[in-house]
Chain A
């Protein structure tokens, strides 16, 4: 479980950075969603139990700050984790572009799923779609830009955690 906790630390950092970016961009009517990055690396690179635990913890972290039924994003992340894990042997998962593609597709799927879940609260749903599409485009761009750095950070954090675990001081 050391790997899951190490990955959770990186997800904690990601949430903090995204929240600060959203706070700073609120005046410009831009909002970023990076759900795909919470699942991609753990589903592609970690053994099932560790990766699944990291995705669940990441989902709970996102759920705690969102006005959704607690567990909604956790369930969506868990389902996506299982789906990606199921096909990972058919992918060149050591390649960053492949990881990035998985993160982008997962991000798109999460965003659309949550949009449909939230849309029932909007008095005129048709008027809300332009903003949601704008948020989706910005989010995909942000995931594409930050993805390689974030995967490198996760890989390095895992290395450090495992090295520390192999040679305790």
Chain B
């Protein structure tokens, strides 16, 4: 009898241990969980950063194999780009001065100013469940949670987590990410949400609350840009192109499909916009 009871307890012991572990975790303080998460993440960070530095070194040695002729051609192209950008900077300075003069005349609050923090992409994590990337700058460069992240083609996403020397960026294609947006040439705000990362083709998003007079198709797409509402993203940054619209179920608005830039999946460097006058 006693042997039977002991055997039954031995069989049940793993389930008891599981129950105890789950109960302990459920009643564990939030601070303990936060500390555990941060500790385990920091444990993985050295490998992520080391692999990224090794990849950079590999690229450096690959570039060293380029011939002098190729370097001269690249230098010439860069000089031309440099000249056109210098001109743009001069025009931009004049426009900025004009904006500041008008703001002063109209007693408008100053626009947000951003510090540009360029960061290398250390790791990409693009699944059907989420789309995130780890960048090689964190608390050491005073990167704040929620900061917008951009690249040459527009919005990349926003900073979701900041760690000691890395940060996690949530991409615009991530299903959980929402941005207040506008259609190019229109001021009415609409809602953008990341949707899917399909097997073939670039990631996609969806827009909701589109006014009924907005039309777009794959042959005549409309540029979707940030509205500046919500206080995270500055206005005018490209999110993607609206390639399909249809009436929503209630008939009051339209919903649409947004094609995102395929380069999002292959970025190696991004820029974090750190607000200089937050709030």
Contact = CB atoms under 8 A, between A and B. Distances in A.
Specify whether A and B are partners: yes
How many of chain B's residues touch chain A, expressed as a range?
A: 35 or more
B41 interface: yes
Given A61-B43, A64-B41, A27 B266 contact: yes
B199 A52 contact: no
A143 to B, nearest CB: 15
B129 A134 contact: no
Interface in B125-145: 125-130, 132
Contact of A60 (B40, B132, B206): B40
B18 A79 contact: yes
Interface residues of A, number: 47
A78 B195 CA distance: 31
Contact of A22 (B22, B126, B199, B206): B126
Interface stretch (B9-17, B82-90, B150-158, B179-187): B9-17
Contacts of A130: 198-199
B200 interface: yes
B18 A78 contact: yes
Nearest to B202: A29
21 contacts: A16-B48, A19-B123, A19-B125, A23-B51, A23-B124, A29-B198, A64-B37, A64-B40, A67-B160, A70-B33, A70-B37, A78-B21, A81-B14, A81-B18, A118-B130, A122-B175, A124-B195, A124-B196, A127-B198, A131-B128, A131-B199
Interface of B: 11, 13-15, 17-18, 21-22, 25, 33-34, 36-41, 43-44, 47-48, 51, 123-130, 132, 160, 170, 175-176, 193, 195-200, 206, 265-266
